[in-house]
Structure 1
Amino acid sequence: MPARKQGAAARGWLAWRPQLRTLLLDLVLIYVSVPFLIRLFPVLLTKFAFLNFLEFPYFVDLQQPELLLNNTVNLYLTTEPNVTVGIWHTAPGSRAAEARGKDRGWYEEALGDAHPVIIYLHGNGGTRASSHRVQFMKLMGAADFHILALDYRGYGDSSGHPTESGFTTDVLALYDWVKARSGNSSVIFWGHSLGTGIATNAARKLHEDRGVQVDAVVLESPYTNIREAAAYVSIAKLYRHFPGFEYLILDSMALGGVFFRTSSRR
């Protein structure tokens, strides 16, 4: 390389060095600050636990489930004052032909047809229209279950703000609504990922407060508690060896009122 070009390259590098140093210092400052911000404002961590702000798939009309699912109707249920949750009810596949074009009243009455009922409790992020949830409803509908998939408060088109106790309230309200219409049919809580903690909380609340045993609880991709689960999410791995990792980050889950125990461990 000619001396003139070498000199230009060297000057260019020297010009960039202060900016690069500033950028690296900014990144280090952000990295160090995050755990302390989480400890001071644990609500930030709950946002990442719930991911309710990710409302994928986008541009889906949740009031028209028939665009994605056959023999399915949309409904809304008020679970407590000022909180209304959106729900999709998929009828058993064996009743698909007669379900075509029917309204909510028909679906409510159909709950008493002796087919078992799944209350589907999805994981964090997205809505009841997410593709893997739609596939689940198709599969279990074909297996002749009723499926009621709700978006908890703060998810999808449901009102309110997400909290662990609020999720339990939503599920128990739906459980009571179903039991009032389903006669002696079995009612199952099926939780996936975050929903496994919600399913367990609701089943525990039924048993402890009412002495009621839910017919079955299915836990898909469960965890022992949200604190242990948080240690293995991608962003937490960046801080696994950070001094005070457990105190600053993991213990902050409890400060934010988030526990989600899916076992009897305390």
Structure 2
Amino acid sequence: MLSLPFQTFMVFIPIDSPRNPQFDSPEQYISNVRNLYINVTDQSTSREVSIGVWLILPENYSGTGSIQEIIRTSSRDILIYLHGVYANRAKPIKQYEVFRRHFLVLAVDHRGYGDSGQGADMTEIGIVEDHLQIYEWVRGLNPTADIYYWGHSLGTGLSTHTLRRLKDDKNVVVKGLILESPFTSLEDVINNIVFEQIFGWLAYFNSTLLRPLRKNGLEFRSLDHIGLIDSPVLILHAKDDGVVPFKLGQQLANIAIENRNPEQGSVTFYWFGEELGYNHNDIVTYPQIHNIIENFTAICRAYNTAKFLPI
């Protein structure tokens, strides 16, 4: 209740997985990857913060040139990937192998993860403000590329918040948003896990656990943000997810469908049965995942074309 560092640790779980990651040697994990750092300004301290990023290129890429030049001259759609807890950018290798077939991928370590943002406070708003600046950095290099966001688990809360801020603050709308294993809010996650089932009956559960998180802005209220994002949305969730309950992803999809008007873009929800065993991390191993991605990007292109047809 009284320790903000303990609260943030329990929310973000910034423990390296894999351990002792070699960010400067990404070829140990996957081919055709470049390691880079993007400097952003911590809005609360005005201090410069370095954010670690991997640029994942197509598998058969054989070109040369600087990272900035690759992004500047790429004709591919760009995907900004935001991972979840207990991870760093060296972990989701099977995800990158899928993504790179469709996008030029930037996998970002949020401040406090990996070697990103050393010493910067881990707060929801601080991380979101970092991502706003990362978007501006990418857009500054390539003003014409279509940019997508893919968030996994905690990264879904960060991506919906980031896209809402882009719309509210800068009137920027990205091409599309993909949410893998998402939730409605942090409070809903806590209220639907074993921890709450054991302790939730205690009279002081709300005042000592939930209220301090709200007070310190650790809310991740995707249920509020998703209705204010003007991009098509794709939601993916496995019914046997043991980390984020499936019903929260289903609820988020229903909220999005009920609260967004057609002019904001479609909402597509794919769920995966327990018999497939995808749990929290393996949805990208679904044999038809490439078709799902291609269908969604086609929806996004059609939506943006229709949106800007002359009247």
TM range (shorter): 0.7 to 0.9
User: What residue number does 2:2 align with?
Assistant: 40
Letter in 2 for 1:69: I
User: Separation in 1 of the partners of 2:19 and 2:95?
Assistant: 19
Structure 1 range deviating more: 107-116 or 170-179: 107-116
Q: How far apart, CA to CA, are the structure 1 residues paired with 2:78 and 2:39?
A: 20
Assess if the C-alpha contact under 8 Å between 1:200 and 1:262 holds in 2: yes
Deviation at 1:233, TM superposition (A): 3.7
Q: CA offset at residue 110 of structure 1?
A: 2.3
Match status 1:182 vs 2:142: yes
CA deviation map 1:139-173 (0-9, x unaligned): 111x2311101111111111223111111122112
Bigger-Rg structure (1/2): 1
1:139 aligned to 68, 93, 98, which one?
A: 98
Structure 1: tracts of 5 or more residues without a match: 1-38
Residues 41 and 60 of structure 1: CA distance in aligned 2, closer, same or farther (over 3 Å): closer
Q: 1:261 to 1:78 in 2, by over 3 A?
A: same
Q: State which of 19, 27, 33 in structure 2 corresponds to 1:66.
A: 27
2:62 is the counterpart of 1:98: yes
1:118 aligns with 2:91: no
Deviation of 1:247 after TM superposition, in Å, equals 2.5
Secondary structure of the residue aligned to 1:264 is helix
Q: Which structure is higher in helix share? A: 1
- The amino acid across from 2:93 in the alignment is V
| Aligned pairs for 1:92-241 within 5 A | 92-93=58-59, 96-99=60-63, 102=64, 105=66, 107-111=67-71, 112-130=73-91, 133-141=92-100, 143-158=101-116, 159=118, 160-241=120-201
| Displacement after TM superposition at 1:84 (Å) | 0.5
Q: Say if 1:92 and 1:115, in contact at 8 Å, map to a contact too.
A: no
Q: Residue 42 of structure 1: CA displacement?
A: 4.5
Q: Deviations over 1:107-132 (max 9, x none)?
A: 322223221111000111221111xx
Shift of 1:234: 4.0
Structure 1 residue 84 and structure 2 residue 50: aligned?
yes
Q: 1:113 to 1:40 in 2, by over 3 A?
A: closer
Give distance in 2, aligned partners of 1:116 and 1:98: 18
- Of structures 1 and 2, the one scoring higher in RCO (CA 8 A, sep 6+) is 1
- Counterpart CA distance in 2 for 1:258 and 1:226 is 7
- Unaligned regions of 5+ residues in structure 2, if any? 42-46, 228-311
Q: Identity of counterpart residues, as a percentage?
A: 29
Number of matched residues? 218
- TM-score, normalised by the number of residues in structure 2: 0.66
| RMSD of aligned Cα (Å) | 1.9
